[in-house]
């Protein structure tokens, strides 16, 4: 998302937050199947005490069961500009193509094979002899110029990797046809305020959601004109920025929202007059929310913490600390098969956590680029490849425009 600094906002609880919802649309597009329930709110640190701190047993020490190594470094060359910051990285549904975006006003598309030209190298004891050094011009399959800086990308499910949605700094949501390299859908309904996040429903891919600096989360349907807004939620009456939205990949009707009012929210998209859950354990802006599995969700905040939540009862399972994050978006990605969490840091490092332990299991300093303007860079985007195997791939992007590819193998 670029070198973005977030201001802390303290708004009242969302019981009086404004909601606009088209009930006729909801009845026509969402049938029953997910039980609606009254709102549950977690707002007390003692109630949400980490599970490993409960009882008298001593917590198990964190251990790394993976050998990680740096496989590839992709840079912009010696004449790179500071504006090449990589703010978002996304794997396509096939996990073979990668899209990146940031404040350079470009969507770059990479074939994973081009990023791992030495994919047959065996990682041993966390090290490998050769690191591929590439530049964006040669490694990138192609790029699409965009009219504004990009804050969010998301592949459209069911499109065969052809359609890619974006949110930008001008407050516009755009969908691109990558075969034609042209925009095919656009909506500008956030009053020119930055769209921090976009996502698509996995049940009905014509339905999308966007969160913005205007303090709203809007859900829209591409079949209704030019993306008519079918639901609008303002979680905080103080209009605190909505920094992240994500549809659950395993629950057709669950939508999570992260907000600058220090809270994360979970909504049933068929009944959005109030949230199902309010998760208030962070002490500063909630920048990301990610579903880990059918029962748990991870949130990240500028309080330097990741938090793992049980969705059904609002229980805080675990808090993860070690990375530095007090002002900016530093990325958050979860590898669902391996139970690993990845994030960046304002001290220019990549962090990996195992969901079972609150301390990082692996930390790697990001490669820096010589030259003025890069001395104080940081890692601001990460993305796991979602594969069902005992080998993992993590991509990380820096404020200096460098893209790095890390690979890991399960220790025997």
* Angle ∠(291,296,299) on CA atoms, nearest 5: 60
pLDDT score recorded for residue 237: 86
Share the mean pLDDT of the chain: 86
Give just the sign of the alpha carbon dihedral 61, 65, 67, 68.
negative
pLDDT score recorded for residue 8: 44
Q: To the nearest whole percent, how much of the chain has pLDDT over 90?
A: 73
Residues whose CB is less than 8 angstroms from the CB of residue 136 and which lie 6 or more positions away in sequence, other chains included = 74, 75, 76, 77, 108, 401, 403
pLDDT tens by residue, 347-358: 999 999 999 999
Residues of the chain with pLDDT under 50: 2-5, 7-16, 23-24, 27, 31-37, 43-49, 51-55, 81-82, 121-124, 370-374
Joined tokens for residue 180:
């034609």
Q: pTM value?
A: 0.86
Rounded CA-CA distance 3/354 in Å is 27
pLDDT tens by residue, 297-339: 999 999 999 999 999 899 999 999 999 999 999 999 999 999 9
Rounded CA-CA distance 65/31 in Å is 43
Structural domains in the chain plus CATH codes:
58-410 (2.130.10.10)
pLDDT score recorded for residue 14: 44
Rounded CA-CA distance 209/199 in Å is 5
pLDDT score recorded for residue 390: 87
pLDDT score recorded for residue 12: 40
Q: Please name the helix (run of DSSP H) or strand (run of DSSP E) that holds residue 187, with its range, or none.
A: strand 182-187
Nearest CA among 224, 216, 222, 219 for reference residue 194 = 216
Contact 262, 37 (CB under 8 A): no
Residue reference for tokens 């990380």: 396
Rounded CA-CA distance 343/209 in Å is 23
């Amino acid at each position: 998302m670029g070198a973005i600094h977030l201001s802390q906002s303290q708004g009242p609880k969302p019981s009086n937050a404004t909601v606009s919802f088209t009930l006729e649309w909801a009845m026509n597009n969402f049938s029953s199947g997910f039980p609606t329930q009254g709102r549950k709110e977690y707002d007390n640190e003692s109630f949400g005490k980490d599970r490993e701190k409960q009882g008298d047993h001593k917590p198990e020490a964190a251990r790394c069961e993976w050998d990680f190594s740096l496989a590839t470094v992709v840079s912009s060359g010696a004449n790179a500009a500071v504006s090449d910051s990589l703010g978002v990285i996304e794997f396509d549904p096939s996990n073979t193509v990668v899209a990146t975006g940031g404040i350079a006003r470009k969507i770059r598309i990479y074939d994973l094979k081009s990023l791992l030209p030495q994919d047959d190298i065996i990682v041993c004891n966390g090290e490998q002899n050769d690191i591929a050094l590439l530049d964006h011009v040669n490694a990138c399959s192609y790029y699409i110029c965009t009219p504004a800086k990009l804050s969010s990308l998301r592949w459209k499910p069911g499109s065969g990797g052809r359609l890619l949605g974006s949110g930008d700094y001008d407050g516009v949501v755009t969908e691109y046809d990558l075969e034609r390299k042209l925009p095919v859908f656009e909506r500008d309904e956030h009053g020119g305020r930055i769209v921090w996040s976009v996502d698509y429903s996995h049940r009905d891919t014509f339905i999308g959601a966007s969160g913005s600096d205007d303090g709203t989360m809007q859900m829209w349907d591409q079949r209704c004109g030019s993306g008519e807004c079918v639901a609008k939620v303002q979680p905080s009456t103080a209009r605190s920025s909505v920094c992240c939205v994500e549809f659950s990949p395993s629950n057709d009707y669950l939508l999570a929202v992260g907000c600058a009012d220090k809270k994360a929210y979970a909504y049933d998209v068929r009944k959005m007059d109030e949230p199902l859950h309010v998760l208030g354990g962070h002490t500063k802006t909630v920048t990301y929310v990610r579903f880990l599995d059918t029962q748990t969700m991870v949130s990240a905040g500028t309080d330097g913490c990741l938090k793992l939540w049980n969705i059904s009862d609002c229980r805080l399972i675990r808090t993860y600390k070690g990375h530095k994050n007090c002002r900016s978006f530093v990325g958050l990605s979860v590898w669902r098969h391996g139970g690993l969490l990845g994030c960046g840091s304002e001290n220019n490092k990549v962090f990996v956590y195992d969901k079972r332990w609150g301390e990082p299991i692996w930390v790697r300093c990001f490669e820096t680029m010589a030259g003025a303007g890069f001395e104080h860079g940081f890692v601001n985007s990460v993305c796991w490849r979602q594969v069902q195997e005992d080998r993992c791939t993590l991509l990380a992007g820096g404020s200096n425009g460098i893209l790095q590819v890390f690979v890991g193998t399960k220790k025997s």
